[in-house]
Homo-oligomer: A and B are copies of this chain.
Amino acid sequence: MQTLWLENNQISLRDVPQPHKLDEALIKIRKAGICSTDLELVKGYYPYMGILGHEFVGEVLEANDASWIGQRVVGEINVVCNQCEQCLNGRPTHCENRTVLGIINRDGTFAEYTTLPLANLYRVPASIPDEMAVFTEPLAAALEIQQQVQVHPTDRVLLIGAGRLGQLIAQTLALTGCDLYVVARHKHQQGLLKARGIRIISEDEIQPGKWDLVVEATGSQSGFSLARRAIRPRGTLVLKSTYKGEMNVNFSSIVVDEINIIGSRCCPFEPALRLMEAKQVDPTVLIDSEFSLGDALKAFEHAAKTGVLKVLVQP
């Protein structure tokens, strides 16, 4: 089958045999999305070799449980052992033996087919079209903030960054009723937010030391510095991006202001599916363009351009 293969910081189209695993479902990919993590993997952010891609919607072709065959599904990306200390303490996304779809030791979804254990799959309600369902994984990642941190309806919340993930975070944080403002660099990003009634703020309007909760979603040193400046004493600063290399942090000021910095990654898929089914979020507004799998190299080139939001790939 045709795939997008990553090796030595190079992506290429490659033909590989169709996968087959006894204990996993065989899934025909219907659509896959390009995530910032994919772009970072290409740059060498993590030493991965294999088929890229972890955002997808597909159809189950083969499974040990016949009731799944023919179902339209999305799938959680962490395949876990259920036996290590992390799993037994309710932290399966931190499984010590996990493989991760298209990221750690497991071929991904820029391919005609992929495999996942049935335990990872969720049926997609009929009212959620493919081009929405393909956002389940990043939408779940956005919701991990509320899974980790109590967002009070009265909180003053600043979101820095309105790219692929930032837009989804903005949509979900808005549902809490919190006093949300977003720093969005690009006109197109700003337009999407305004269309949903979400307020934009420019950097120089941001009052320092006044925000209860700040979400950093740019992955840049300048984004972190702005977040640090904005947060109030004893406030919570959520790191919600990938960061290249190391950040410089003034720990003495973190100590003096007793700031809480918390990293945030993945969340289960069901809440994301529920919010899409209830039309409380609409990730499809992020779609920039769709390419065939044969044009995946062009798709990646396009996705890497400044300000481009979601690029989809269809096998």
Task: Please tell me if the beta carbons of A147 and B143 are within 8 angstroms of each other in the complex.
Answer: no
Q: In this assembly, does A132 line the interface, its C-beta being within 8 Å of a C-beta of chain B? A: no
Q: In this assembly, does A271 line the interface, its C-beta being within 8 Å of a C-beta of chain B? A: yes
Interface pick from A16-24, A51-59, A66-74, A256-264: A256-264
Contact of A175 among B175, B232, B248, B254 (CB under 8 A): B175
B residues less than 8 Å from A249 (CB atoms): 246-249
Task: Please tell me if the beta carbons of B263 and A176 are within 8 angstroms of each other in the complex.
Answer: no
Q: In this assembly, does A294 line the interface, its C-beta being within 8 Å of a C-beta of chain B? A: no
| A273-299 contact mask (Cβ, 8 Å, vs B): 1 or 0 | 011011110000000000000000000
Q: In this assembly, does A196 line the interface, its C-beta being within 8 Å of a C-beta of chain B? A: yes
B residues less than 8 Å from A242 (CB atoms): 252, 255
Task: Please tell me if the beta carbons of A255 and B241 are within 8 angstroms of each other in the complex.
Answer: yes
Q: List 13 A-B contacts (CB under 8 A).
A: A85-B210, A91-B233, A94-B257, A143-B153, A147-B152, A175-B175, A175-B280, A179-B271, A224-B251, A247-B249, A247-B250, A255-B265, A257-B263
Given contacts A146-B151, A242-B255, A248-B248, 10 further A-B contacts (CB under 8 A): A86-B232, A91-B234, A94-B234, A147-B152, A153-B268, A154-B268, A177-B280, A245-B250, A247-B251, A280-B280
